[in-house]
Amino acid sequence: MNKFITFEGVDGAGKSTHLAWFADALRQRGGEVIVTREPGGTPLGEQLREMLLNQPMSIGTEALLMFAARLEHVEQVIKPALAAGKWVISDRFSDASFAYQGGGRGMDWEKLRQLEQWVHADLQPDLTLFFDVPVEVARLRLANNVSLDRFEQEQDAFFERVRAGYHRRVAENPQRYAVIDAAQTLAAVQQQLVAIIESI
């Protein structure tokens, strides 16, 4: 049976590299797989992404735009693909709003829950791979990037709060998550991904 799988982690955890590998491995097993991302995933969502990643704005606006992009994404892309029997893998989803806007920026957790209820009360990922890594390690990996977006330019303390936000989400609903120690070598992480693919 096809599933909705999301990938999460602080910037620099390596999730995008692992996502591409995971999607290929899943395709080799058979079945149609679509890969998408947030913020983004639709033409309007990609325009919102451009603003969100580059333009200063208030915390509430940031959260609302994240969820506005998500509403389009859920309705236009995720639900139709799942209904058509495809696997959907999204690079980030609502856990990122709880971690970044809630943990990182300090937005009220309950308000985020209300937005989540509004935008996708009837849909949650079947599985979320959370790539967990100490902030120092993530920062070292980001140091190779030529240009950093508005989030990536934040201080270490921000990323510590983001990481704590992810841990809070995992603690609230542990059965939905596979927590992966992303400080390991690429090969060691891939071994864990193989085990996950065999189990789903």
Tell me whether residue 42 or residue 101 sits nearer to ligand TYD (CB atom): 101
In the sheet that holds 177-181, the strands lie side by side as 33-37, 87-91, 4-9, 127-132, 177-181
Q: What does the alpha-carbon distance between residue 139 and residue 152 come to, in Å, rounded to a whole number?
A: 9
> CA 114 from chain center: how many Å?
19
Stretch that binds ligand TYD, among 19-27, 94-102, 109-117, 184-192 (CB under 6 A): 94-102
CA distance 18 to 192: 11
Where residue 126 falls (left for φ over 0; alpha for ψ -120 to 50; beta otherwise) is alpha
Given 36, 42, 97, 128, the residue binding ligand TYD (CB under 6 A): 97
For ligand TYD, give the closer residue by CB, 28 or 145. Answer: 145
Give the residue with the Cβ less far from ligand TYD, 39 or 125: 39
* Element spanning 4, H or E: strand 4-9
Smallest gap, in angstroms, from Cβ of residue 189 to ligand TYD?
17
Sole binder of ligand TYD in the list 66, 74, 89, 138 (CB under 6 A):
66
Asked if 92 is part of the footprint of ligand TYD (rule: CB under 6 A), the reply reads yes
Please tell me whether residue 151 binds ligand TYD under the rule CB under 6 A. Answer: yes
Count of chain residues binding ligand TYD (CB under 6 A): 13
The single-letter code of the amino acid at 24 is D
Task: Point out which residues bind ligand TYD (CB under 6 A).
Answer: 11, 16, 38-39, 66, 91-92, 96-97, 100-101, 151-152
